[in-house]
A and B are shown apart, each in its own frame.
Chain A
Amino acid sequence: MRDFISERAQGLPPSGIRKFFDLALTMQDVISLGVGEPDFSTPWNICESSIYSIEQGKTSYTSNKGLQTLREAISRWLTRYYRLTYDSENEIIITSGVSEALDISIRAIVNPGDEILIAQPSYVSYAPCVTLAGGVPVPVECTEKDRFRLKPNALQEKITNKTKALMINFPNNPTGGVMRKEDLEAISDIVVDHDLLLISDEVYSELTYEGQHVAAATVGDLWERTITLNGFSKAYAMTGWRVGYVCAPRALCEAALKIHQYVMLCAPVMGQVAALEALRSAEEDKNNMVNEYRLRRNMFVAGLNRIGLPCHVPEGAFYGFPSVKETGLSDVDFAEQLLKEQRVAVVPGSVFGTGGADHLRCAYAVSRKQLTEALGRMEIFMSGL
């Protein structure tokens, strides 16, 4: 029999933490700081409205772009909170989570051999999505000394005549770094000067703890060359509903929509109904969750620094990203030993690409009680090194 697996699929790197995953599943009493999702359940009013719509028989396809009411609500919401202007009819597509939004955006713009810059550390799917689309992912490192912001000189260095686009994700998974307005302004000139496209994944935008989130497309002349991605998973504790969206100028949106209609047709209607309700009535629930994350962050990051794992204060998302350099262990060894000896699961930073090594991603989206317990176990582990 032939080997049926495509070269492209074969070429994809295996998940960096498969063995951790398997190990953790065999163990009892593991506290997992390894999960990139809220520990809250979706606010009940959101669930209830979706259940009601199912009872009403609303179980069919929606338009490819997504429910018009949802697109309109998103358009208004973006204007109100981020001063972003996208026309609900031609510039917004509802997708199955930001994962799909990312994939169709990349496929809409990449020609074979195009170089796509990725601000790293980054979410694990960025580079594989570029590769699958025939492009060449090129990491641009964001360093700890810059508090994991993307700096213009680092960006400038990686630009060649094949560079087509830059992908960023702020607030950042895994570092919790954010880009303030002046940081975005500093890179916007480079993006414009080199005629690049910007893909800005802002799924953690609502989880911004110091000041206001600044949407990349509102900075300088970036709007016309920016694809803004966002979704409901993180802010409204809706990971399982799979609802995200692409916002972009009409021509880009139309290209992405063609791909979306062939590969996804539409996002699940139950999720879209739930997302609409989230915008209508879950503002307070969201604020309460964000406030709770802020308290946990303060508590957790102070704890990490106290036990000898230096960690910058992340201004967004829900991850601590401490350095393990001073322990003499690699991030992978640290994470593995910590799991085996103290049953605390964290993700080694190196799986998030350039700049991630020697760090751990610890999600503080777990209860305060569990956080305290995890810190206690980590302290015991540290004292045994």
Chain B
Amino acid sequence: MDEKDLEILRILEENGRLSPEEIATMTTLSVQDVEGRILALEDARVIRKYTAVINWEKAGNGEVSALIELKVSPERDFGYDRIAERLSRFNQVKTVRLITGTYDLQLLVTGRNMQEVSRFVSEHVAPMDRIRETATHIIMKPYKENGNILFEQQETERLPYSF
């Protein structure tokens, strides 16, 4: 992993749809070199996948999301890994993180409506062994996701010419 690899990663993170040709012009690398580096980064699972940032609220599919915080008793030899991995397997669970503070794990769970989310939490998450306590926070409105601002920003007025 060198500076050029990091540069390519930053470019792709910002826009995963750029072609190797476009990335090559921007980085002054050859197209072949860019393709080779991207393949290697994919093989090394540094690049996990290419995806889109979607404002679901705007798409109007009616999905709801909640942050679920969990207090978990860690297991001997495994710590939090096994339970975190187990939780990660649920399709409804979009994010799983080990965190510091009052709670241990933080999940992002989505569902078609509130009932679905709460049923999932009460039936599948809360009863799991070693989970001592849950706190569910409904997401009311997202303003920024993964570095992307979701609210409309007024375009600033710029002069057509200035020196």
Contacts and interface: CB of A to CB of B under 8 A. Distances in A.
A34 B26 contact: no
Interface in B1-44: 7, 10-11, 15, 22, 25-28
A298 B23 CA distance: 10
Contacts of B26: 295-296, 298-299
A20 B159 CA distance: 12
A41 B156 contact: yes
Interface stretch (A24-32, A192-200, A270-278): A24-32
Contacts of B27: 295, 298
Contacts of B22: 299
A102 interface: no
B50 interface: no
A125 interface: yes
A295 to B, nearest CB: 4
A110 interface: no
Interface string A289-311: 00100011011001100000000
Contact of A30 (B11, B28, B160): B160
A192 B96 CA distance: 66
A72 interface: no
A35 B25 contact: no
Size bin of chain B's contact surface: 10 to 19
Contacts, number: 52
A376 B126 CA distance: 56
B58 interface: no
Contacts of A299: 22, 25-26
A81 interface: no
B39 to A, nearest CB: 21
A298 B162 CA distance: 23
A345 interface: yes
A75 interface: no
Contacts of A20: 160-161
B158 interface: yes
Given A295-B27, A298-B25, A298-B28, A25 B162 contact: no
Interface in A278-294: 291
Nearest to A296: B26
A37 interface: yes
Contact of A295 (B11, B158, B159, B163): B11
A124 B163 contact: yes
A303 B24 CA distance: 12
A347 B160 CA distance: 10
Given A41-B156, A295-B11, A17 B161 contact: yes
Contacts of B25: 298-299, 302-303
Contact of A21 (B28, B158, B161): B161
Interface of A: 17, 20-21, 24-25, 30, 32, 34-37, 39, 41, 123-125, 173, 291, 295-296, 298-299, 302-303, 345, 347, 351, 368
Given A21-B161, A34-B162, A295-B27, 16 more contacts: A17-B161, A20-B160, A20-B161, A34-B160, A34-B161, A37-B162, A123-B163, A125-B163, A291-B7, A291-B10, A296-B26, A298-B25, A298-B27, A298-B28, A303-B25, A368-B15
Interface of B: 7, 10-11, 15, 22, 25-28, 156, 158-163
